[in-house]
Structure 1
């Protein structure tokens, strides 16, 4: 919510987050869901991206209990074997599911990106 209301949205990451496509890298793409229907959404998200080899897992925290966000929700992490071809369409489909609060596809929002790596820091702007 904060990023949507901001004049500038600056992403700061290390170079391990750089990928050629969305998914297929082994990194998780988070989807925040309300606790009440997390199982429903875990199944729906797996089915939605079945052709991409999506594995949906509930994020666990301390004591192997579900991780709870600041808003009291759960996170379902999506792992894709095949990259997402159309991030905007995927984001729209994820957001259309009942009980989904937000997803980790911050598409078109970043005004700048700061990447730290072995060769120093690189700043990319829109």
Structure 2
């Protein structure tokens, strides 16, 4: 665990160095993004960065940023985002990824789509030869009719499971939706799957982030930086 955390922190601090004054910065969600938010706040507090505006991808990241003195605003209060720094749960060699382990995939994708550049920060364990071999795909669904969506995902042979919290209750996202985690390890065409899922009534969003990441920073020592080939 110490090595994993060291990798997360290495990647996060490397990303902090890419932030320049007057940027609008998207704050990701999750344990790796937390290291970035803390590092960015430290740079602001040390007066290394003077005019940074932040947009958060979750309530947790919003609250953390504000508690550390960052200027966090709502997405609609900006004209756009210069750069978003976020983690990922699994990343393939083409820099496609699965996100949503922190149940923030819906807001994360909205912020990512509003960003000029998306940088993902990961420890080496998140790299994978093929998406779905290490991590389930989160699907965010409306509570109303969610069991019918569950049955639809079952018919697709995706072995769905509702995500539950520590109390055994259905986990609620920041937008008060449910998460159904599905197994895509046998799916060969992920783009086709993503297109099908998003068109099904009751599905709000899925955690396939295809063609979104521009740069991947892997927290090796020294860090490894990979750019997506357009």
TM-score, structure 2 normalization: 0.49
Shifted more, 14-23 versus 103-112: the winner is 14-23
Shifted more, 12-21 versus 91-100: the winner is 12-21
- 1:97 has 2:196 as partner: no
The answer for the alignment partner of 2:112 in structure 1 is: 3
Question: Alignment partner of 1:89: what SS?
Answer: helix
The answer for the alignment partner of 1:27 in structure 2 is: 135
> Does 1 or 2 have the higher relative contact order (CA < 8 Å, sep 6+)?
1
If each structure's strand is expressed as a fraction of its own residues, which one has the higher value? 1
| C-alpha RMSD of the superposition | 1.5
Question: Alignment partner of 1:16: what SS?
Answer: helix
The answer for the alignment partner of 2:150 in structure 1 is: 42
CA contact (8 A) 1:34 1:101 kept: yes
Unaligned runs of 5+ in 1: none
The Cα offsets for residues 21-51 of structure 1, whole Å up to 9 and x where unpaired, read as 222x242110111111221111111212x2x
The answer for the alignment partner of 2:85 in structure 1 is: none
- Number of positions where the alignment pairs a residue of Structure 1 with one of Structure 2: 119
Cα distance in 1, alignment partners of residues 192 and 223 from structure 2: 32
TM-score, structure 1 normalization: 0.85
Q: Which has the larger radius of gyration?
A: 2
Unaligned runs of 5+ in 2: 1-109
The Cα offsets for residues 43-68 of structure 1, whole Å up to 9 and x where unpaired, read as 111212x2xxx211000012011111
The 1:124/1:47 distance shift into structure 2, 3 A limit, reads same
